[in-house]
Amino acid sequence: QQFMLQHADTVDARQPLEQKARRDLATEKEIQQAIEEQQFELHYQPIISMRGGQTIGFEALLRWRHPRRGLVYPTEFIPLAERTGQIVAIGRWVLGEALNALKAFQMLVGRGSGPRPPLTALAEAAPEPAPRSRTPLFMSINISARQLFELQEIDAIGDAVMASGVDPKQVKLEITESLLVDDPVHAQAAIQLLREYGMRIALDDFGTGYSSLSYLHQFPMDTLKIDQRFVSTMGRDPKSYRIVRAIVGLAEELGMETIAEGIERNNQLAALREIGCDAGQGYLMSRPASFREARRLLQQKQVRW
Ligand code: C2E
Ligand code: MG
Ligand code: MG
Ligand code: MG
């Protein structure tokens, strides 16, 4: 059962400003409490290789186990947490938790050993049997621009990864275009620094926001995440299909990997394969899963997603 948190960002215009401010303040206090009482949890959505159909990594997605409202989704509280700066503390917790999960997942499948069982849906569609993969699992972690404002905080991220003992190469930080747009000079320094630690950078939601193609060579990035908006229409809209094909081609030219988001249908999966997209995630393969569920998915011999 799911409850929505009445949030100030979705306030309607008739509501007095005073009321909005009061509610924001109340939510801010609740977030503070959530940080202290560890009401947050991470769910993990498998990221699947388009070629082999096996799980190559996970994206960590934040949820708030609210004592009264149930499971609250990030879009309901992250915007406020960004304004109040609380996202920095939340982000530190997310990083630590996601690194622990990555260690556990890697242990389960054997560090760098494969193959993992292909998803049946993919295996059926796959033109040939899944190739043996020797790539260790990675973890994708969403990072707010606000978390990268201070170089000190970036060093804290790097230190946490180094201290965790995971290979920094297997840590992928997802940033959005707003970071690049708002302060390109700082963004460049931030990305540079993160990469010096050995972490990978993914540009999230590519194709939505401002999407200047010049960013792609201005900022050194490893991965382009193709937004769900394109993926959801590419099965039936030839224009979307061509846009995605162009994005994948461009990424390839620039030496970047592509991950498609929000794959819900077999025809989308087939189209992405045809185009040569590297990897994907979506409800078709798996919804974001709790730690235990994700572990079970990895353990299963016959995965039926
Ligand atoms: P995102 O990074 O673009 O994450 C993908 C979103 O798409 C997730 O929503 C995921 O649950 C959803 N999704 C995955 N597959 C499908 C699908 O097949 N169909 C549909 N309709 N949706 C799908 P979620 O978990 O609600 O997260 C929303 C956004 O909140 C994320 O978008 C990200 O921007 C932000 N977020 C999540 N966790 C964190 C975090 O730890 N830190 C920060 N700063 N932001 C986070
Ligand atoms: Mg993301
Ligand atoms: Mg995204
Ligand atoms: Mg998105």
Q: Whose CA is nearest to atom 15 of ligand 1?
A: 282
Query: For the segment 157-194, what is each residue's pLDDT rounded down to a tens digit?
Result: 999 999 999 999 999 999 998 888 888 899 999 999 99
Residue 124 φ/ψ, nearest 5 degrees = -65, -40
| Ligand 1 contact, 5 CB (< 6 A) | no
112-116-117 Cα angle (round to 5): 175
**CA–CA gap between residue 72 and residue 65 (Å, rounded):** 6
| Structure-model confidence comparison of residues 95 and 180, the more confident one | 95
Determine the pLDDT at residue 55.
94
Determine the pLDDT at residue 182.
87
**CA–CA gap between residue 190 and residue 179 (Å, rounded):** 10
Q: Is this complex's ipTM strictly greater than 0.90?
A: yes
| Ligand 1 contact, 278 CB (< 6 A) | no
- Residue 127's alpha-carbon distances to 8, 56, 305, in angstroms, are 49, 19, 18
Average pLDDT over residues 108-117: 60
Q: How far is the CA of 58 from the centre of ligand 4 (A)?
A: 15
Burial class (CB in 10 A: 0-12, 13-18, 19+), 140: buried
Determine the pLDDT at residue 13.
63
Atom number of ligand 1 nearest to Cα 205? 3
Q: How far is the CA of 225 from the centre of ligand 3 (A)?
A: 6
| Ligand 1 contact, 82 CB (< 6 A) | no
Q: Whose CA is nearest to atom 8 of ligand 1?
A: 61
Residue 249 φ/ψ, nearest 5 degrees = -65, -45
Q: How far is the CA of 19 from the centre of ligand 3 (A)?
A: 32
**CA–CA gap between residue 218 and residue 248 (Å, rounded):** 18
Q: Whose CA is nearest to atom 9 of ligand 1?
A: 61
Q: Does residue 69 register a pLDDT over 60?
A: yes
Average pLDDT over residues 3-30: 74
Q: Does residue 295 register a pLDDT over 80?
A: yes
Q: How far is the CA of 34 from the centre of ligand 3 (A)?
A: 24
Tokens of 27: 């939510």
Q: Does residue 130 register a pLDDT over 80?
A: no
Average pLDDT over residues 248-276: 95
Tokens of 149: 């404002």
Q: How far is the CA of 97 from the centre of ligand 3 (A)?
A: 20
Atom number of ligand 1 nearest to Cα 264? 18
User: Across the chain, what does the average pLDDT equal?
Assistant: 88
| Ligand 1 contact, 78 CB (< 6 A) | yes
- Residue 19's alpha-carbon distances to 8, 54, 104, 259, in angstroms, are 9, 49, 45, 41
Which of 176, 177, 280, 172 is closest to 231 using CA atoms? 280
DSSP classification of residue 214: H
Determine the pLDDT at residue 113.
44
Tokens of 77: 């509280």
- 143: which residues sit within 8 A by CB, 6+ positions away? 91, 157, 173, 174, 175
| Ligand 1 contact, 133 CB (< 6 A) | no
Burial class (CB in 10 A: 0-12, 13-18, 19+), 87: buried
Determine the pLDDT at residue 208.
79
Query: For the segment 117-128, what is each residue's pLDDT rounded down to a tens digit?
Result: 555 655 555 444
Contact 250, 216 (CB under 8 A): yes
- Where is average pLDDT lowest: 83-87, 129-133, 260-264, 287-291? 129-133
Q: Does residue 3 register a pLDDT over 80?
A: no
**CA–CA gap between residue 126 and residue 51 (Å, rounded):** 7
Residue 13 φ/ψ, nearest 5 degrees = -65, -25
**CA–CA gap between residue 273 and residue 279 (Å, rounded):** 9
pTM of structure: 0.89
Ligand 1 mutation target, pool 88, 171, 261, 287, most atoms within 8 A of CB = 261
Q: How far is the CA of 246 from the centre of ligand 3 (A)?
A: 18
**CA–CA gap between residue 305 and residue 283 (Å, rounded):** 9
Determine the pLDDT at residue 117.
53
Query: Which residues have C-beta under 5 Å from ligand 4, the single-atom ion?
Result: 205
Q: Does residue 112 register a pLDDT over 50?
A: no
Q: Residue 67, Cβ neighbours under 10 Å: how many?
A: 11
Average pLDDT over residues 277-289: 97
